[in-house]
């Protein structure tokens, strides 16, 4: 496996250090890992487990954090989408205003300011804040047609942070802990256990990255990976940074106690197709 990019890792470390809205595991939130997820095929796993729900992943979240501006702006976007792929998205004026308000708040955070400065130094993003927000809107919020659809039915933000369903049985995207927690609280998530493969770090309740399996609505996410407890601004800045600064679909970075691959698929080189973290190594202190 390739080594971590030292320059990008240094930048991600700055983002991590600036994330004052990150929750502390075991204190601000608690999870119950339970058992390892099954290895059955998607269809049989879904049919086998659909009769009854297991225990939730989240056992506690201090929801006072959701009153922070960045969390409020992020959560306001989560109900703006039609989850089924193939169904064209209709963006109302109110929803477009929410998108712009979210970006207005994001670019004022320490995380996005650091990311913007780096991207300007690299001649990747415009220095003018208005033009930068236009760039962010294009890569995250402009609609495009996913595979098998003839009309715009998806966006980078919807896929990564909200989640989508394909064919009524498969969940795609959905790589955000806040959406997972809120949907689980509503009874729409059935957590199936953690994912674990040979040579990967053993998951535990104190790591900020988790590979997992879950059912959502009528579909199953056979294997997904998410950050836990991080702020919306950290994830948004990190994924924006990796998408714009690297042509590679897998970018390895090291920060804090984590060696992480950021998977970042480009869609038509203009939009984020998907992006999520994969924990490669965990350094014990």
Provide the annotated active-site residues: 159, 175, 221
DSSP 71-121: HHHHHTTTTS---BTTS-----HHHHHHHHHHHHHHTTSHHHHHHHHHHHH
CA dist., res. 249 & res. 236, Å (int): 17
Reading across the β-sheet that carries 271-282, which strands appear in turn?
Answer: 250-255, 258-267, 271-282
Tokens 């953690």 correspond to: 194
DSSP single-letter state for residue 57: S
SS3 (DSSP) at 263: strand
Specify whether the CB–CB gap between 225 and 211 falls below 8 A. yes
């Amino acid at each position: 496996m390739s080594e971590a990019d030292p320059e990008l890792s240094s930048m991600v470390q700055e983002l991590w250090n600036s994330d004052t809205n990150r929750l502390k595991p075991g204190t601000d939130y608690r999870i119950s890992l339970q058992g390892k997820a099954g290895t059955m095929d998607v269809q049989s796993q879904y049919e086998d487990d659909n009769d009854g729900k297991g225990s939730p992943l989240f056992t506690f979240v201090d929801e006072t954090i959701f009153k922070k501006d960045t969390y409020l702006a992020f959560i306001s976007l989560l109900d703006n989408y039609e989850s089924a792929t193939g169904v064209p998205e209709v963006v109302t004026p109110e929803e477009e205003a929410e998108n712009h308000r979210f970006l207005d708040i994001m670019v004022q955070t320490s995380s996005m300011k650091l990311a913007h400065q780096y991207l300007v130094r690299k001649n990747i993003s415009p220095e003018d804040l208005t033009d930068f927000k236009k760039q962010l809107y294009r890569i995250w919020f402009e609609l495009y047609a996913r595979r098998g659809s003839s009309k715009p039915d998806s966006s980078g933000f919807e896929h990564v942070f909200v989640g989508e369903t394909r064919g009524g049985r498969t969940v795609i995207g959905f790589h955000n802990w806040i959406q997972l927690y809120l949907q689980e609280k509503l009874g729409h998530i059935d957590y199936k256990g953690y994912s674990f493969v040979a040579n990967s770090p053993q998951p535990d309740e104190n790591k900020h990255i988790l590979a997992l399996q879950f059912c959502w609505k009528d579909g199953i996410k056979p294997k997904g990976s998410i950050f836990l407890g991080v702020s919306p601004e950290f994830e948004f800045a990190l994924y924006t940074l990796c998408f714009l600064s690297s042509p590679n679909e897998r970018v390895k970075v090291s920060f804090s106690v984590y060696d992480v691959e950021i998977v970042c698929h480009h869609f038509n080189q203009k939009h984020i197709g998907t992006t999520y973290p994969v924990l490669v190594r965990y350094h014990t202190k």
